[in-house]
Amino acid sequence: MKNILVPVGSSKNAQSHLQYAVDFAEAVGAKLFVVQVYNVYTKAGTMIRVDDVIQRESKAFLDNLVSQIDTKNVEVIVKVLKGKLINTLELACKTAEVDLILVEPRTNSIKDEVYLGKTSGKIIKQTNIPALIVPEGYVFKPVTNVLLAMKSAIIKKKRALNPLKSIKDTFKADVHLLLVKTPHYNDGDFDVNEVLEDLSSSVTKSGNATTFQGVLEHYRSHNPDMLCVVRRKRGFFAKKWEKNTILKKDFHSNLPVLVLRGLK
């Protein structure tokens, strides 16, 4: 893992989130890109462009934020980017060859019942970038146990597991594979290939209505300090993430959640 990107909003958790990002980047030996994305705004009736003002203020905000944390030995690059959020992040990640994007759960949302706010939910749902959702105020610590929950072990994209492999190798972590048989189960979904088998310290099979229910059932027995799930077109977050905002009653985690891009 060489490059990590952190989109920064104006949440009260921005400083602690960025400190976690630096600590994580140092542990995996990665460079950190800290970015803020803005769109083009005009004043109604006057058509006065305020790009320069926004860019200066955003850059000053990011520089001040970085100055308040311990950057350690991590190379931190600050960028202010103009454009639509998803397209701009996708382009930035492609240009900088980003391996992982770190996301705050709620960003600007102040509602206690919200797990993923509109912005963070949009990033997770609409981008094809592996992401790590870090709980608010969570302090970095080495990862020792990862619970990888899947409803299908079929993997066609060779690089899809790379973020998980990197975390496992860096921290010498145990990865516990949980295969959940849902009503959408197809023959062959539980056929674990050699790559996934080598990655996993143990394999558990469960029957549940949803993958998330399987996670809830087996969570305590594995005692993970990181949850790993897969974002498929019609998978773990399909119904829950039809809207960008995700409520805690539908899904929540007090641990970092690694979201891999679709494996098929």
In the chain, where the domains are located:
3-104, 145-261
Whether the Cβ atoms of residue 175 and residue 198 lie closer than 8 Å to each other = no
Q: Does domain 3-104 have CATH number 3.40.50.300?
A: no
Residue range 93-135, pLDDT digits in tens: 999 999 999 998 754 444 454 444 566 767 777 778 899 999 8
Distance CA 178, CA 211 (A): 9
How many H helices and E strands in the chain? 7, 12
* Closest alpha carbon to 251 in 81, 141, 135: 135
What is the DSSP-derived secondary structure letter of residue 164?
A: H
Q: What are phi and psi for residue 97, nearest 5 degrees?
A: 55, 50
Angle between the N-to-C axes of helices 162-171 and 14-28, in degrees from 0 to 180, rounded to the nearest 10 = 80
Whether the Cβ atoms of residue 38 and residue 119 lie closer than 8 Å to each other = no
Helix (H, G, I), strand (E, B) or coil at 198: helix
Strands 3-7 and 100-103: parallel
Distance CA 176, CA 162 (A): 16
Kindly report the number of other CB atoms within 10 A of residue 244's CB atom. 16
Lowest mean pLDDT among 51-60, 110-119, 130-139, 198-207: 110-119
Distance CA 11, CA 71 (A): 20
Question: Per this entry, what is the length of the chain?
Answer: 264
Residue range 125-174, pLDDT digits in tens: 777 889 999 988 899 999 999 999 998 888 887 788 999 999 999 999 99
pTM of the model: 0.85
Superfamily of domain 145-261: HUPs (3.40.50.620)
* Within this chain, domains 3-104 and 145-261 share the same CATH topology: yes
